[in-house]
């Protein structure tokens, strides 16, 4: 069973000027840094303690690690700063930004939590889904002016439209049904319409469990759409990490049970195309494990889609 896991740098690998700037902002020297696992960013993700006992969670990245990651962090800083205080998210503290050609650092409150068990524990999964549903209720209508999920689906989650029937490495099932899948995927943007602020990138590594709460982290991909989209996006990784099959997981959310079946299938097709297309591309700089994880999720999502379409 695979878990989302990239290759991250450590505190000691951050450029000295960036470390100095962080310590100045913190008001003291960093004496401990616990690197955190999960996710695919090549940047730093660490719990930090200073000599005075100040504790924060830091994310940091520069363009030398991956040219896209700093822009993702900048978007996350804008979203995190605007999230309402009653949302189940860590409190955003501050950022340091060297600009487009430099490093960016994000600081959040240090949540005394842990990632869900691997493989998924049924009770923890139940807690996570309940928190996701509560999050969606709290974020409807969206408290932040964000682009609709339809934009992302039409611009980046359109893998079937990008693939050719003779694409090297493409499985036989999508090869035979590519025209049908492309047409269904094209319906996804309209199907995804809604008024909820959604995460779009939910996985176990973006969920922290404390003794009493569930905290959702990493919001750079947030958009506005139907709440059940988050369940579709998360379902393949849940199955991959020992949880229930996608359809069973999807049905755990109240909004999922009320969603129009054809709209759901269109979005499943879009997610399947995204994973399938991207898994066939070269690994991005600094993210050597991403494509294998996408390939595994793609295989699960294609099986789910075939079941929903009754298409052999």
Query: What fold characterizes domain 11-109?
Result: Phosphorylase Kinase; domain 1 (3.30.200)
Identify the CATH class of 122-309. alpha beta
Write out pLDDT tens, residues 83-115: 998 889 999 999 999 987 899 999 999 999 999
Contacts for 176 with CB less than 8 Å, ≥ 6 apart:
none
**76/68 Cα distance (integer angstroms):** 13
* Phi-psi domain of 286 (left: phi exceeds 0; alpha: psi -120 through 50; beta: other): left
* Phi-psi domain of 27 (left: phi exceeds 0; alpha: psi -120 through 50; beta: other): left
pTM of the model: 0.91
- Answer whether residue 134 shows pLDDT above 60: yes
* Contact predicate 233/204, CB 8 Å: no
- Answer whether residue 3 shows pLDDT above 60: no
pLDDT given for residue 47 in this prediction: 94
**47/27 Cα distance (integer angstroms):** 16
Other Cβ atoms closer than 10 A to 256: 22
Q: Strand, coil or helix: what is 35?
A: strand
Q: What average pLDDT does this structure show over 22-36?
A: 93
- Answer whether residue 6 shows pLDDT above 80: no
**285/169 Cα distance (integer angstroms):** 21
pLDDT given for residue 39 in this prediction: 65
Q: What average pLDDT does this structure show over 47-52?
A: 95
| pLDDT band for position 260 (cuts 50, 70, 90) | very high
* Lowest-pLDDT choice from 4-8, 105-109, 174-178, 300-304: 4-8
Using the structure block, give the residue that is written with the tokens 């660490």. 46
* DSSP symbols for 230-279: HHHHHHHHHHHTT---HHHHHTTSHHHHHS-HHHHHHHHHHHHHHHHHHH
| pLDDT band for position 155 (cuts 50, 70, 90) | confident
Structural domain spans, the chain: 11-109, 122-309
Mean pLDDT taken over the chain: 93
Using the structure block, give the residue that is written with the tokens 């075939």. 306
| pLDDT band for position 133 (cuts 50, 70, 90) | very high
More confidently predicted of 155 and 20? 20
- Answer whether residue 208 shows pLDDT above 90: yes
């Amino acid at each position: 069973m695979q878990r989302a896991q990239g290759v991250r740098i450590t505190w000691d690998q951050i450029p000295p000027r960036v470390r100095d700037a962080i310590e100045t902002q913190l008001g003291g020297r960093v004496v401990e840094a616990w690197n955190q696992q999960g996710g695919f960013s090549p940047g730093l993700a660490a719990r930090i303690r200073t000599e005075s006992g100040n504790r924060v969670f830091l994310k940091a990245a520069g363009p030398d690690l991956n040219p896209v990651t700093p822009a993702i962090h900048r978007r996350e800083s804008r979203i995190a700063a605007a999230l309402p205080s009653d949302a189940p998210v860590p409190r955003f503290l501050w950022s340091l930004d060297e600009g487009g050609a430099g490093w960016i650092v994000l600081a959040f409150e240090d949540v005394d939590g842990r990632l869900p068990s691997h493989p998924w524990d049924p009770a923890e999964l139940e807690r996570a889904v309940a928190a996701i549903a509560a999050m969606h209720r709290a974020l409807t209508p969206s408290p932040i002016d964000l682009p609709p999920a339809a934009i992302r689906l039409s611009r980046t989650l359109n893998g079937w439209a990008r693939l050719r029937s003779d694409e090297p490495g493409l499985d036989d099932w999508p090869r035979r049904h590519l025209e049908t899948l492309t047409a269904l995927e094209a319906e996804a943007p309209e199907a995804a319409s809604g008024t909820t602020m959604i995460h779009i990138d939910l996985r176990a590594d973006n969920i922290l469990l404390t003794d009493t709460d569930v905290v959702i982290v990493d919001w750079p991909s947030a958009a506005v759409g139907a709440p059940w989209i988050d369940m579709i996006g998360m379902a393949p990784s849940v199955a991959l990490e020992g949880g229930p099959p996608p359809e069973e997981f999807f049905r755990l959310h109240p909004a999922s049970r009320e969603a129009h079946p054809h709209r759901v299938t269109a979005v499943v097709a879009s997610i399947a195309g995204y994973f399938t297309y991207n898994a066939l591309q070269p690994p991005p700089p600094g993210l050597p494990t991403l494509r294998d994880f996408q390939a595994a999720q793609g295989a699960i999502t294609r099986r789910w889609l075939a079941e929903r379409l009754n298409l052999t």
